[in-house]
Structure 1
Amino acid sequence: MTDRGWTEAMRAERYEDAWAIEQAVLAARDPATRDDPRLPYHQRWVWDGRALDGCDVLVRCYHGLGDTLQFARFLPALAARVRSVTLEAPARLHALLRFPGVTLAAFDPAHPLPPAERDVEITELCSALRLSPRDAPAPYLHVAPAPLPAATIGLCWQAGDWDADRWIAPDLLAPIAAQHRCLSLVSAPTDLPVVNPQGCPFDLPATAALVAGCALVVTVDTMIAHLAGALGRPTWLLLKAAPDWRWNPARTDSAWYGSIRLYPQPAPGDWATPLAAVARDLAAFEGVHHGQSSRPVGARLLG
């Protein structure tokens, strides 16, 4: 959904207006194009508008990992209203998505599950259930935190390849990493002075444990932001000037995650301004100690 009016309604938390726009769009669609196999998965629509209550429901996860984590908040409410729920999600997410009443199935793009009595894409649950993010607040994911040193700050500067404007050159974070004990949440080696220069493991449960153990996460708009928000960790989100629909650049907070603080660019390409604000706020961040030297994190933490 990219309708400007819908985006404005969602950002203003006028959810009834947003859902009305969605219903109008749904009514205008050709039913024959539902879950159209000719389209890439992320461009498909799945829910046909019928009520889900009392049915056997298949929840498909056709979008990114961050989208799945963001909308997973609605799965317990769905399970309480329907006969059964099957969640067809990437297998690497399964350890994080264990909710009572929800059966997990691995999403294989080459062999998706056959339709159920009701199908819905996970990002359609907000509208299908008529629930706002404040009806299902974070934290709603829970993992045991990795035993990191106090005041460790997690850093993530890479986002998906589909939007390079979300990325930050890692050297722009060097002043922060030099002054605070920092941990990389990027699954690649780095020259930044962090406690794990080899990078974060390419394993979501292990990454979630590291995020849960951080005192603060500073990240660009990517899956790490949703993971940290869903875990309820203090998260400072660096946004490009025209961010995704779910973030309102005119605000510093988010209805989706109560622990997130937004740092948008004032103009495209200007990362200096939000990073300067982050640096100022870090000086006052409770529990962060200046002048601590980095030290390697053992294999027991990083897997």
Structure 2
Amino acid sequence: MNAFLSQTTEQKYINDLTSLLEKNDYLSAIPQVRSGIRSKPSWVEGYALLGRLLWQTGQHNEAADAFQDAIRLQPDNPEWQIQFLRCKMKLGEFEQTVPKILNFVANHTDNSSLIIEGVSLLSEVSQHDVAVACLTWCLKKRPDDSVLCSTLAAELISSGRASEGSALFIDLMTRHPDTIGYTPIIVAALGNIGEFDFALRISEAYQESDLPKSSAFLNNIACALVALNRSEEAIPYCEAGLAIEPENEDLRFGLAAALLKSGAFEKGWRQHELRPALLRRRESRPWRGEEDVHGKTLLLIGDQGLGDCIQFIRYIRFFKDTGTRLIVAVEAPLQRLFANMAVWVEVCDIDERPEHDLSCPLLSLPFALMRFIGTTIPAEVPYLHPYPEDLTRFSSLPDPGNKKRIGVVWSGAKRAQYGLFYRARSSSLKDFLPILEQKEAEFVNLQLGEPRDEIREAGLATLIDPMDDVRDMADTAAIIQSLDLIISVDTSVAHLAGALGKPVWMLTRSDCCWRWLEDRDDTPWYPTMRIFRSEPGSLQHAISLAARELPHFLGTARLQPSDHTYSKDEVLV
């Protein structure tokens, strides 16, 4: 700090800042660090600390500026260069940043750790092909570097060249048996492309060895088990990882997912409160059920995706008779829909923070209300409703005659940061044809975004497409209200149909989200939903199951001859 600050004042500043950091109160720590920088503009570590705090709270643009200030004062610090480049990649500035990453790697070819750090920036945003090319070039300069070789194997796997990457790693292990220590890198890569069973098998020898098991390795094993619907087995791995690294956000969230997917809701909701900061919205007056909300204003903040908000808005019913003024802050597509729930609920934009006494994210409501309602999931539907005027606007859909009208959604958001396997949550219009070609039904498009262009590309004139007139989810709700069935991948429309109480068939990955539990075709969240679970790799299996079942729903299924002889009791039933 500046010379005019007394030693006592400086020590108090350090103690206050340390206390905030120990409590992970990043939002409060940011102005503290800014204050310190104003007092001492040459405080290079302060700029770097500010950058880390801004990164943790999702303020990536400001984080980049902070790291750039640190680099200006100390240009040769590779750690801050990496952090700055990471921010730029997160902001989507690929064209400008990739050459800078490659230049960084070229300047540090004598240091494997820095090469891998640079390459990891490419990998984090799924630029695996560029990462492969970069590592291949580095290996020509360091041909005996087993660390780079194992990293290249992992990048090949992550880019979709699984057999090539695995062969490279097996060759490395054959030539250098002591490289078993690189197994965790390959396990992580296999998990990233959805080869969970293979990842577990690859890990067996390493798990049985005396080599140290890092928290990252334990997390990857746990993730593989959860994805394989063996969530109870995953819990001890999460706990072992947290014993090594208690503040690891991936492990804390992984443990929550394992608990919730296995149906251990009481522990799961409690653990879910430790979800990563990047999944949270700004909140200044947290409420988690500790105090009476009577006569107070409670701000409920929509966090994570649109489907999550639709799923958890159901909990507002428990505030109806509490004398609480309720404000719900959500993204624009949900605002009109939620404003139609109840006269005592106000709705504002997700970034607004109107005056309030207390606040709570929507996904924290099961935990906040647990002491009052237990872990029972309130599943009364419908709890969302379309507007009468919107029903009128969309009443001009062609008369289906005697046919049933079915809405379809074949693709969700890509979210490349979750790895190649996450693509299996979505399909294509072409892959949906076994469903759409059934002439006994009339199909209505509910798909928005880029995948909607596939209708024109396929020339599928029989698919009715009213989405040009859709402004938000309230409009989509009005269309859904006129349908007999919705067939959707795991995205917000599936949640919306369930919340409207409409029959909905959800097609999901084999490694589906924790909320759908394990090995069941129904869900406690939506009584009108039926789940079709796919085999690993794509949604084709789930699509074929739904296509096979659709004639039964339509009443057009033909009876097949059977060798089974029915008893009298079976006939009566």
State how far apart, in whole Å, the 2-side matches of 1:252 and 1:268 are: 19
Mean Cα displacement is larger for which, 6-15 or 276-285? 6-15
Quick one: structure 1 residues 133 and 151, their matched pair in 2 at CA, closer, same or farther if it must change by over 3 Å? Answer: farther
User: Which residue of 376, 379, 385 maps to 1:142?
Assistant: 385
Q: State the SS of the aligned residue for 1:94.
A: helix
Give the match's secondary structure for 2:335.
helix
Aligned-residue offset at 1:216: 0.7
| Distance across 2 between alignment mates of 1:137 and 1:167 | 28
Q: Which moved more, 1:279-288 or 1:190-199?
A: 190-199
1:128 — aligned with what?
Answer: 368
Distance 1:215 1:129, change over 3 A: same
Moved over 6 A (4+): none
- 1:240-255 pair list within 5 angstroms: 240-255=509-524
Aligned counterpart for 2:526 among listed residues 257, 274, 277: 257
Unaligned runs of 5+ in 2: 1-248, 416-421, 559-573
Distance 1:21 1:198, change over 3 A: closer
Q: Which residue of 1 aligns with 2:405?
A: 152
Which secondary structure state, in structure 2, belongs to the residue aligned with residue 252 of structure 1? Answer: coil
d(CA) in 2 for partners of 1:58, 1:85? 6
Give the secondary-structure state (helix, strand or coil) at the position aligned to 1:170. coil
**Residues 249 and 15 (structure 1), Cα distance of their counterparts in 2 relative to 1, 3 Å cut:** closer
Query: Which of 171, 179, 182 lines up with 2:443 in the alignment?
Result: 182
Unaligned runs of 5+ in 1: 30-38, 291-303
What is the letter of the counterpart of residue 141 of structure 1? Answer: L
Kindly report the root-mean-square deviation, in angstroms, between the aligned alpha carbons of the 2 structures: 2.9
Q: 1:209-288 maps to which residues of 2 (within 5 A)?
A: 209-269=478-538, 271-286=539-554
Q: Report SS of the residue matched to 1:116.
A: coil
- Give the letter for the 2:324 counterpart: R
Q: Does 1:161 align with 2:407?
A: no
Deviation at 1:234, TM superposition (A): 0.8
Paired residue type of 1:93: L
Compute the TM-score of the two structures, normalised by the length of structure 1: 0.79
Greater mean deviation of Cα atoms: 116-125 or 156-165: 156-165
Q: Distance in 2 between matches of 1:245 and 1:282?
A: 27
Q: Tell me the distance in 2 between the aligned counterparts of 1:200 and 1:13.
A: 41
Using the TM superposition, give the Cα deviation of residue 156 of structure 1 relative to its aligned residue in structure 2, in angstroms: 0.2
3-state SS, counterpart of residue 382 of structure 2: coil
Distance 1:267 1:115 in 2: 48
- Pick the structure with more strand per residue: 1
Which is bigger in relative contact order (C-alpha 8 A, separation at least 6)? 1
Identity level (%): 25
Distance 2:266 2:323 in 1: 22
- The 1-side partners of 2:272 and 2:492 are apart by 25
1:7 aligns with 2:241: no
Partner secondary structure for residue 217 of structure 1: strand
8 Å contact from structure 1 (residues 178, 193) kept in 2: no
* 1:133–1:169 CA distance, 2 compared to 1 (3 A): farther
**Secondary structure of 2:299's partner?**
strand
Q: Tell me the CA shift for residue 18 of structure 1.
A: 2.2
Matching residue of 2:305: 64
One-letter amino acid matched to 2:430:
D
**TM-score, normalised to structure 2's length?**
0.44
Counterpart CA distance in 1 for 2:550 and 2:495 is 21
Secondary structure, aligned partner of 1:134: coil
Between Structure 1 and Structure 2, how many residues are aligned? Answer: 273
What are the Cα deviations for residues 234-258 of structure 1, in whole angstroms up to 9, with x where unaligned? 1111111211221124110111101
